[in-house]
Structure 1
Amino acid sequence: MAEKKIFAGPRVKRIRASLDLTQTAMAEALGISPSYLNLIERNQRPLTVQLLLKLATVYKVDLDELQGEAAGAVGHLREIFADPLLAGEVPGEHELVELADAAPNAATALVKLYRAYKEQTARLSDLAALLAQEGHETTLSGARLPMDEVRGTLERRANFFARIEDAAEAFHARLAPGDDLSGALKAWLRSEHGIAVRLLPVEAMPNLRRRYDRHSMRLFLSDRLSPFDQTRELAMEAVLLSIGADIATELDGLGLDGDEARRIARFELARYAAHALMMPYGAFLSAALRNRYDIDLLRSRFAVSFEQAANRLTTLARPGSTGVPFFLVEMDHAGNVLRLAGAQGFPRTRFGGLCPKLNIHSAFAQPAQLLVDRVEMPDGGGFLTVSRTLKGPQMPFSERVRRSAVLIGCDIAHRDEVVYGAAATATIPVGTACRLCERRGCLSRAEPPLTRPLGLDEMVTGLSAFDFQ
């Protein structure tokens, strides 16, 4: 069997330097020539098994240290050079391996520096939020991905698009779908555009929700989707064809930079338009007022999902015909925020949405149950919040179910207008986010506040892991 060749020159050189040995002295101890050791240290000759054993015996070297590939350091370096600021700087992973191998201390320093940079970026972002909360305009911004630009733009503005609402209502009136919007959309696609709709099994379309084949004029939908989501996909295709000009006009008004950001925003506006078609504004607002914003009654009335009805409640901001100004947060079980929206823009500075005491986090322990809370902010303001888990597309037995949770809320001043108000008896003290919250003794605190120095008193231990002065 051929010997395994191990090139570990820089590591052998570090061992020699740490012992303050010359090449001649180390070569003599290993029973090789100085010139051969020189070639080994320059990675021009491999370390054989015999030499590995000799190094381990003479210098008590850990063989794993010599044979390893510094995989941990390479992984950290790979993360650093995946940052958009450094993308394209390193042509291949071999350079990362060489850096981790030849200069491990420098690689470790680079990792520490990058982590400090990310930490400072996060602190500046939180500080900007704090300043904005206090009414100070900031210009702190960094390089953002197109998705970040779109999300930021949509979160800051009211979740209402007048041209799309008017056009969707008019389109709904022309369709006259009665109680079968899905059937009416299929018939309209066939008669007006010659598009046939087919439902495909998972094995035929494993990674897609919807696909339009221009050549065969067929729209394929995945049977992973619930009937409500299938209807939304049909509605999205229909509104892009029927009211595309109105969607384009609203898209231009967002002032986005770059084609990718515009493409993402166009999808979001098409999704908005689909909801407007499935739940026409006038009829939906009337039903919402009549049922005191009971989401389960609304979803039954319009044959939509809980998530679709909840999203629609955040859009009731038509001038002269408004509803309760709801806002919405959707996140996954790991705490990743998937969506923020509000009838007046998402109230990030007043509500935040990242406090671990919010009932959206508790919802994952009680799937499909409605959790209602009255929460109080540090400044005395209050909100009524309703949370519930959402189930994603149907998964086969071998895959893990995708579940997220949605929190829909409104100012506590609207409590008597909403059916859930009477259920919110206790008041839960929360904050916008741990780094901006100065509540003392909070058992849920995950990070220290930016605004206070830590209380490093060895004689006193508080309830929180991050006590502060």
Structure 2
Amino acid sequence: MAENKIFAGPRVRRIRNGLQLTQTAMAEALGISPSYLNLIERNQRPLTVQLLLKLASVYKVDLDELQGEAGGGLQQLREVFADPLLAGELPGDQELIEVAEAAPNVSGGVVKLYRAYREQASRLKDLADLLAGEGHMAALSDTRLPIDEVREAFEARPSHFARIEEAAEAFHASLVAGDDLAGALKGWLKREHGLVVRALPVHVMPNLRRRFDRHSMRLFISERLSPFDQLREIAMEVASIACHEAIAAELETLRFSTAEARRIARFELARYAAHALMMPYAAFLAAAQRAKYDVDILRARFQVSFEQAANRLTMLQRPGATGIPFFLMEIDSAGNRLRRGGAQGFPHARFGGACPKLNVHAAFAVPGQVLVDRVEMPDGGEYLVIARTIDGPQAGFEERVRRTALMIGCDAGFAEDTVYGTPRTPAVAVGPACRLCERQGCLARAEPPVTRPLGLDEMATGLSVFDFQ
């Protein structure tokens, strides 16, 4: 029977160094030559089963330590190199395994350094938000990723692009009147550009939402998508062609620093244009005002999804014909913020959006149900917030459903103009984020504020482990 061979030279070297033995002394105890032990430590020779048993009996070594992978150290290194700043640096795990095995102390140092970097980045962001709230703009780092640059640009301005709105309304008016917008858009693509739209089953296109084949002039869309999301993909293709000049003009005004940032922003503007095609501005604003901004009524009226109708509400800021200035935030079940935006720019300084008491977090407990709250900020400002979960592409039997939660909000002064503003309920006391909030005795506090020292007292303990002075 062939012997199992294990290459674990660095681990053998660590054991020998820990026992303060020379290679000669260890080789003599194991019954092998010093030169052979040297080859083992350099991974030039394997550890056989006999040598494993000998190490275990002579030095009381745990066999799992020798046979196992680099364990926690490897997993922590994977966490480090999964960061967007480092993603793509390594083709696979082999180099990480070698580092974790050969230099565990160096591996641990890298992990500590990375975690310190993340902690400092988080603190700097909190301080920047705090300074912004006081009217001071902090300088932005030149190491931002392109996606960060795009998000910051879209979040810092009104979510309204006049040129795209005008182009989308003009194009929509040119379509043959009818209830089937998807059919009209498909017909235009085929008639004007010879482009055919086809839905493909999951096994043919398992990892893509859409794919455009220039050779056969076909747009493939995944059957995983709901009919509403399929319509948006078709509308995005149409908008990219019919509203090309308007999208390019709006993109030019944003002045991104890299080609990658411009590419991402062009995609986001095409998505904006798709919503404008699906829900033309004047018609949508009139319907929203009649329905008192009831998202469910609007999605039924325009045959779109809850997420699409809610997103469109944030765009109603045309001069002379404005709607309520809604803002929007989407998170996943781990609390990661996937996007933020709004008619007047997401209100970072006052609202923040990172308080665990917001109903957007509670929405995951009641999927599909609309939750409505009034919330009060520490400075006395109030907002009306509406939250609901939204499901991603259709999952297979063995796949986990992708579910996120969407929250739209507006200043509480507009509450009575919406269907969600009555009856009036007591406001929930929230904050912009735990590190920026100084509310005393908060049961939901997850971190201490950066503006106050901790007030730990052996004689009296408050409701939170992060009580402060």
Q: How many Å separate the matches in 2 of 1:218 and 1:378?
A: 54
* Corresponding residue of 2:339: 339
Equivalent position of 1:67 in the other structure: 67
In the alignment, what sits opposite 2:394?
394
AA at the equivalent of 1:153: A
Are residues 302 and 33 of structure 1, via their aligned partners in 2, closer, same or farther at CA, if it must alter by over 3 Å?
closer
Asked if the contact 1:288–1:298 (Cα under 8 Å) also holds between the matched residues in 2, the reply is yes
Give, as a single letter, the amino acid of the residue that structure 1 aligns with 2:396.
Answer: P
How many Å apart are 1:90 and its aligned residue? 6.6
Distance 2:84 2:389 in 1: 33
How far the C-alpha of 1:316 sits from its partner, in A, is: 0.9
- Residue type of the alignment partner of 2:155: E
2:191 aligned with 1:191: yes
- Note closer, same or farther for the CA distance 1:420–1:109 as it changes in structure 2 (3 Å cut): same
Q: Deviations over 1:330-375 (max 9, x none)?
A: 1222222222111011111111111111111111111221111000
* Residue pair 2:30, 2:54 contacting (<8 A) in 1 also: yes
Q: Which amino acid aligns with 1:187?
A: G
Q: Which residue of 2 aligns with 1:266?
A: 266
Amino acid at match of 1:366: V
Kept in 2, the 8 Å contact 1:160–1:343? The answer is yes
Shift of 1:142: 5.1
State the alpha-carbon separation in 1 of the partners of residues 109 and 389 from structure 2: 43
What are the superposed Cα offsets for residues 251-298 of structure 1, whole Å, 9 maximum, x if unpaired? 111111222222211111111111111211112112222222111222
* Aligned partner letter, 2:419: V
**Alignment check: 8 A CA contact 1:125 1:140 kept:** no
- Report the counterpart of residue 371 of structure 1 in structure 2: 371
Distance 2:152 2:93 in 1: 34
Amino acid at match of 2:190: R
Q: Deviations over 1:293-341 (max 9, x none)?
A: 1112222222222111111110111112111100011122222222211
Distance (Å, rounded) in 1 between the aligned partners of 2:133 and 2:441: 23
1:5-49 residue CA offsets vs partner (Å, 9 max, x unmatched)? 333333333333333334443333333344444444444443332
How far 1:87 sits from its partner (Å)? 6.5
3-state SS in 2 of match to 1:253: helix
Residue 319 (1) aligns with residue 319 (2) = yes
Asked if the contact 1:384–1:424 (Cα under 8 Å) also holds between the matched residues in 2, the reply is no
TM-score (norm 1): 0.93
Task: Please tell me whether residue 208 in structure 1 is matched to residue 201 in structure 2.
Answer: no
Aligned length: 469
CA distance in 1, matches of 2:141, 2:419: 41
In 2: Cα distance, 1:24 partner to 1:277 partner: 79
Give the structure 2 partner of residue 180 of structure 1. Answer: 180
- Using the TM superposition, give the Cα deviation of residue 165 of structure 1 relative to its aligned residue in structure 2, in angstroms: 0.7
Q: Deviations over 1:152-203 (max 9, x none)?
A: 1111111000001111111111114333322222222222222233333333
Shift in Å, 1:69 = 3.1
Aligned to 1:153: 153
Q: Show the counterpart of 1:48.
A: 48
Matched, 1:430 2:430: yes
d(CA) in 2 for partners of 1:222, 1:283: 30
Bigger CA drift: 59-68 or 87-96?
A: 87-96
Taking the aligned partners of 2:321 and 2:88, their CA distance within structure 1 comes to 52
1:304 matched residue in structure 2:
304
Distance 1:344 1:22, change over 3 A: same
Contact 2:313 2:326 in 1 (8 A): yes
Q: 1:338 to 1:52 in 2, by over 3 A?
A: same
User: 1:417 aligns to what?
Assistant: 417
CA distance in 2 between counterparts of 1:411 and 1:438 reads 22
**Shift of the alpha carbon at 1:424?**
4.2
Q: Say which SS state the counterpart of residue 422 (structure 2) adopts.
A: helix
Q: Cα offset for 1:4?
A: 2.4
* Separation of aligned partners in 1, 2:72 and 2:256: 39
Quick one: distance in 1 between partners of 2:177 and 2:159?
26
Provide closer, same or farther for how the CA distance between residues 84 and 297 of structure 1 changes in structure 2, counting only shifts above 3 A. closer
For 1:13 and 1:210, how far apart are their aligned partners in 2? 52
Q: Distance in 2 between matches of 1:85 and 1:363?
A: 32
Write the distance in 2 (CA, Å) between the matches of 1:61 and 1:131.
55
In structure 2, what is the Cα distance between the partners aligned to 1:80 and 1:395? 29
Q: Do the aligned residues in 1 keep the contact of 2:85 with 2:145 (CA within 8 Å)?
A: no
Separation in 2, partners of 1:68, 1:81: 21
Per-residue CA deviations over 1:379-434 (Å, capped at 9, x if unaligned) read 11110001111122333333322222211100011122112111341210011111
**SS of residue in 2 equivalent to 1:387:** strand
TM superposition score normalised by structure 2:
0.93
97-106 or 252-261, larger mean C-alpha shift: 97-106
Which structure 2 residues correspond to residues 69-218 of structure 1 after superposition, within 5 A? 69-83=69-83, 93-141=93-141, 143-218=143-218
Matched, 1:279 2:279: yes
Partners in 2 of 1:167 and 1:339 — Cα distance?
25
Letter paired with 1:189: L
CA shift in 2, pair 1:61/1:383, >3 Å: same
**In the TM superposition, what is the alpha-carbon distance from 1:81 to its structure 2 partner?**
4.2
Does the 8 Å CA contact 1:128/1:140 hold for their aligned counterparts?
no
Secondary structure of 1:384's aligned partner: strand
Percent of aligned positions that are identical: 71
Match of 2:358 in 1: 358
Aligned residue type for 1:250: E
**Any idea what SS the aligned residue of 1:166 has?**
helix
Instruction: Please tell me whether the aligned partners of residues 376 and 428 of structure 2 are also in contact (alpha carbons under 8 angstroms).
Output: yes
Contact 2:213 2:219 in 1 (8 A): yes
Instruction: Give the corresponding residue for 2:442.
Output: 442
Mean Cα deviation higher: 347-356 or 210-219: 210-219
Structure 1, unpaired ranges of 5+: none
Query: What's the RMSD between the two structures over aligned residues?
Result: 2.3
Distance 1:158 1:130 in 2: 21
CA distance in 2, matches of 1:438, 1:426: 21
Moved more, 294-303 or 314-323: 294-303
- Corresponding residue SS for 1:423: coil
2:254 is paired with a residue whose SS is coil
- Cα separation, partners in 2 of 1:86 and 1:178, compared to 1, 3 Å: closer
The code of the aligned residue for 1:426 comes to: P
Worse overlay, 247-256 or 219-228: 219-228
1:406 paired residue number? 406
State the partner residue of 2:26: 26
More off after superposition, 13-22 vs 235-244: 13-22
In structure 2, do the counterparts of structure 1 residues 185 and 48 end up closer, same or farther at CA, with 3 Å as the change threshold? closer
After superposition, where does 1:226-305 map in structure 2 within 5 Å?
A: 226-305=226-305
Provide the C-alpha distance between the structure 1 equivalents of 2:56 and 2:331, rounded to a whole number of angstroms.
Answer: 52
Change (3 A) 1:186 1:40: closer
